[in-house]
Amino acid sequence: MDEHDWLAARFEEHRPHLRTVAYRLLGSLSEAEDAVQDAWLRLSRADTSGVANLGGWLTTVVARVCLNMLQARKSRREEPLGAHGPEPLVCGGEGTDPEQAGLIAVFEYMIANTDWSVAGLHNIVLTEDTSGTVYPVPYDFDWSGVISPPYARPDARLGITSVRQRLFRGYCRSADQFAAIFARFNDRKDAIYTMYRSQVGADPKRVEQALRYYDDFYRVINDPKLVRREFLQACK
């Protein structure tokens, strides 16, 4: 078996997972197949001698291809997937981690950040472990309410007037599923607060301001009526 055949065989091993990733980002089987084929063309032309994790490399390539396709779709003003499309990547399916999506959505609500999208890979980076499970990891939180810089403004389409206003932008789950996610945040509350207060050089007043903001988050997730209003009725 020559190098090209060996690379093709390795690619075929990853094809089902790559198709799943692409479909969950694009919501179209035909476009997903196109994205996977594009990834193969890029692989066949690339120097992969220094790639230690081929599955992770291919997942990143497919995600970037899908992002380009989503941007092209937007520029053509095609109808977005919205609430009627499939859930974003890692909300279910082979090779994905559904729990991580829920944790991200609740975390973004905790810090009052609406400037993110898993499906569009906006302020989200994908990482893959050795088992092939893909995890989205959020970053860039300067537009969040807990930071609240003077230049930050929420998207007018969201129906909120300040980044300090929390808005849950995740997908719907059952009350029990939300409760399991909230339990993880409750378990780590003391550790989170301790981490904030132990930051060297941080302004103590700003730290306590942030923690008071988080106090309100914890009040919400531990009040069934507020959970119903903020999560169960607000989810997509």
pLDDT at 209: 96
| Mean pLDDT along residues 11-31 | 81
| Mean pLDDT along residues 181-192 | 97
User: How far is Cα 146 from Cα 126, in angstroms, rounded to an integer?
Assistant: 24
Q: Give the count of alpha carbons within 13 A of 102, CB side only.
A: 20
Determine whether domain 1-84 maps to CATH 1.10.1740.
yes
Its pTM stands at: 0.63
CB environment 55-75: b (16+ within 10 A), e (fewer)? bbbbbbbbbbbbbebbeebee
CB atoms within 10 A of CB 9: 10
Q: What are the domain boundaries of the chain?
A: 1-84, 87-236
Summarize pLDDT for 81-110 with one digit per residue, the tens.
Answer: 433 333 343 333 344 456 788 899 999 999
168, pLDDT greater than 90: yes
pLDDT at 74: 67
Locate 15 and state its tokens. 């094809």
User: How far apart are the two ends of the chain, measured CA to CA in Å?
Assistant: 49
25, pLDDT greater than 80: no
| Mean pLDDT along residues 174-196 | 95
| Mean pLDDT along residues 182-201 | 95
24, pLDDT greater than 50: yes
